[in-house]
Amino acid sequence: MDSLAKNLQSVQQRIADAAARAGRNPNEITLVAVSKTFPAESVLAAHALGVRHFGENRVEEAVEKIPLVLRQLPNHPTTELPNITWHLVGHLQSRKVKDAAALFDFVQSVDSVALARRLSDRAAAIGKTMPILLEVNVSGEASKYGFASAPREPFFAAVREILALPHLDAQGLMTVAPIVAQADDARPRSAFRALRELRDELRARFPDRPWQHLSMGMTDDFQAAIAEGATIVRIGRAIFGERK
């Protein structure tokens, strides 16, 4: 618990410092603690320290972990605030949409129109509207999921179809930057800048939506992401420690 508290305090301070350097309010930035591979006890410990947003990469892991956590959480003293918000931040397979729609409060990794349709249909079946982000592969790496950001018109056509789905609420974009060996490598920041520029184009093309969120930045690059406008950072290792 002591090491978790120290890690969390360090991450929060680094977020605040990065926001200050960028002339931003740190309250504009949501920290999603990615609890992939860590047990329910780690989530509960982080929750006791004030963390309210948690991310999971795999639906099959979440199927066991999320109900276990929810059974042990104390009730929030005010009903106006969510006790916990679960984000799916990893790739979502079509065959797991049913479980994902029931378990998660926010899906950050919608990467195709077909997946969006299935998710909207499932959300309708259980009576909810699912907030989503569109995952974009701005780096063009073959190993990464996401919509291609170029050429623009096919992407905009896909966005138009997704916005018409009644049980999804598209709130912004998500990306995973290239993994680099050196901290001064410019490629992650270039990817974050490209996502922000794409978001700005979406605001011009589809002005009826605020497109408020940019989910970008993880343990090794979240400060650069904040400098480029991230509103959500997804941090696991710097909070929970090295994964086994």
Yes or no: say if 133 and 115 are a contact pair by the CB < 8 Å rule: no
Yes or no: say if 136 and 184 are a contact pair by the CB < 8 Å rule: no
Q: Which two tokens stand for residue 174?
A: 């998500």
Separation of alpha carbons 211 and 55, rounded Å: 20
Distance of CA 10 to the CA centre of its chain: 20
Residue-level pLDDT at 200? 98
Residue type, 230: A
53, β-bridge pairs: 85
Beta-strand runs (E) in 101-176 = 106-110, 130-137, 147-148, 168-174
Separation of alpha carbons 133 and 1, rounded Å: 32
**SS3 state of residue 134:** strand
pLDDT, tens digit, 9 for 90 and up, residues 60-92: 999 999 999 998 887 655 555 568 999 999 999
Residue 15 in domain: yes
pLDDT, tens digit, 9 for 90 and up, residues 159-204: 999 999 999 999 999 999 987 766 556 788 899 999 999 999 999 9
Residue 25 in domain: yes
Residue 223 in domain: no
Which candidate, 69, 99, 102, 64, places its Cα nearest to that of 84?
A: 69
Residue-level pLDDT at 69? 94
pLDDT, tens digit, 9 for 90 and up, residues 225-240: 999 999 999 999 999 9
How large is the C-alpha radius of gyration of the chain?
Answer: 17
Residue 234: which H helix or E strand, with range? Answer: strand 232-235
The chain-wide mean pLDDT, for the chain, equals: 94
CA distances from 11 to 83, 150, 213 (A): 21, 34, 20
Residue 14 has pLDDT above 70, yes or no: yes
Residue 49 lies in domain: 2-216+228-240
Residue 169 in domain: yes
Q: How many domains does the chain have?
A: 1
Separation of alpha carbons 231 and 214, rounded Å: 5
Residue 115 in domain: yes
Separation of alpha carbons 115 and 12, rounded Å: 34
Residue 221 in domain: no
Rounded percentage of the chain residues whose pLDDT exceeds 90: 85
Residue 222 in domain: no
User: Tokens 């099959």 map to which residue?
Assistant: 60
Residue-level pLDDT at 82? 65
CATH number at residue 234: 3.20.20.10
Name the pTM for this structure: 0.94
Residue 178 in domain: yes
